[in-house]
């Protein structure tokens, strides 16, 4: 299967637009990335993670999001793919590089689409006989407490390469912390707290102030199609997997599903 068969229409933005507008556009279009263009040429990518990173940098904490531009936060090193590329190969590229999506350009370098883990997940949903437990991650799960400082939790997310963290009290799931949730919380802080107080107060933001409360949950026995539908409906890329009493036993994420595509739609063999 070629990229052209599943790629989505890109949502573009000019590098000189305000970062606050970009955040609104991401939410309105229900996408996790904007393609930054200039005269039809790809210049960068802007994601929720980029916005969260920019707003949490100590030198710009005191600057309102309304005064920052897209160019100040975007990732300008962009890997593009071709419409003719094989989907499984692009999935492997995403896994290897820790990427969540790529602009698709034709032979003339013209932007024609975008492929992300969201499009790959739609392919996985067709496999009705595969369950969440077949692909979920159960080892080295990173969790956070609701009273933990948000900047610390964000740092841990970056270190481990996770885009979503279950928020727990003991083993019971209370919420979910995502890149989008962090970006939106930092944007609210930027708007609500006066300039002169931001630098001192940013470390007082807690996970509970940003987390998604009562996120959708799945069980190990649920078909993948159910998990993917819940992700799509809630615009999430990670779901906690729980057992009795909502106790966390793992996570299922778009990264897990992308690995399945990269493995040519084969369930990994269980290591003894």
What is the residue extent of each domain of the chain?
Answer: 3-124, 132-177+206-262
Average pLDDT of the chain? 87
Q: Determine the Cα–Cα distance for residues 12 and 15; give it in Å rounded to an integer.
A: 10
pLDDT value of residue 59 = 47
Q: Determine the Cα–Cα distance for residues 169 and 235; give it in Å rounded to an integer.
A: 24
Query: What predicted TM-score, i.e. pTM, was given to this entire model?
Result: 0.86
Beta-strand pair 12-14/33-38: parallel
Q: Output the CATH code of domain 132-177+206-262.
A: 3.10.580.10
Q: Determine the Cα–Cα distance for residues 146 and 176; give it in Å rounded to an integer.
A: 10
Give percent of the chain above pLDDT 70.
Answer: 91
For the stretch 74-119, pLDDT in tens is: 998 889 999 999 999 999 999 999 888 999 999 988 899 999 999 9
Residue 90: enclosing H or E segment and its boundaries?
Answer: helix 87-97
Give percent of the chain above pLDDT 90.
Answer: 57
Q: Determine the Cα–Cα distance for residues 64 and 189; give it in Å rounded to an integer.
A: 9
pLDDT band of residue 151 (cuts 50, 70, 90) is confident
Q: Quick one: CA torsion of 235, 70, 21, 233, rounded to 10 degrees?
A: 0
Encoding tokens for residue 139?
């080892």
Smallest CA-to-CA distance from 82 within 58, 62, 108 is with 108
Q: Output the CATH code of domain 3-124.
A: 3.10.580.10
Contact 34, 80 (CB under 8 A): no
Q: Which residue has the higher pLDDT, 131 or 66?
A: 131
Residue 198 has pLDDT above 90, yes or no: no
For the chain, the C-alpha Rg in angstroms (whole number) is: 19
Same fold, 3-124 and 132-177+206-262: yes
pLDDT value of residue 255 = 92
């Amino acid at each position: 299967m070629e990229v052209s068969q599943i790629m989505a229409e890109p949502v573009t933005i000019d590098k000189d637009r305000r970062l606050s507008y970009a955040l609104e556009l991401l939410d309105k279009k229900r996408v996790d990335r904007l393609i930054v263009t200039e005269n039809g040429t790809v210049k960068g990518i802007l994601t929720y993670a980029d916005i969260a990173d920019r707003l949490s940098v100590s030198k710009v904490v005191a600057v309102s999001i309304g005064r920052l531009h897209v160019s100040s936060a975007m990732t300008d090193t962009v890997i593009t793919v071709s419409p003719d590329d094989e989907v499984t190969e692009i999935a492997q590229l995403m896994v290897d590089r820790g990427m969540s999506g790529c602009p698709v350009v034709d032979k003339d370098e013209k932007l024609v689409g975008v492929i992300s883990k969201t499009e790959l997940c739609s392919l996985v949903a067709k496999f009705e006989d595969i369950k969440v437990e077949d692909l979920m991650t159960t080892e080295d799960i990173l969790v956070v407490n609701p009273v933990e400082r948000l900047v610390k939790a964000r740092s841990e997310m970056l270190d481990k390469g996770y885009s979503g963290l279950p928020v727990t009290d003991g083993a019971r799931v209370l919420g979910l912390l995502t890149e989008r949730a962090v970006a939106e919380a930092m944007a609210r802080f930027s708007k609500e707290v006066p300039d002169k107080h931001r630098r001192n107060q940013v470390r007082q933001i807690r996970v509970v102030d940003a987390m998604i409360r009562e996120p959708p949950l799945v069980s190990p026995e649920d078909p993948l199609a159910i998990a993917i539908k819940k992700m799509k409906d809630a615009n999430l890329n990670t779901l906690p997997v729980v057992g009795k009493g909502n106790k966390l036993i793992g996570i299922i994420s778009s990264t897990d599903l992308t690995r399945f595509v990269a493995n040519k739609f084969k369930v990994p063999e269980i290591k003894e």
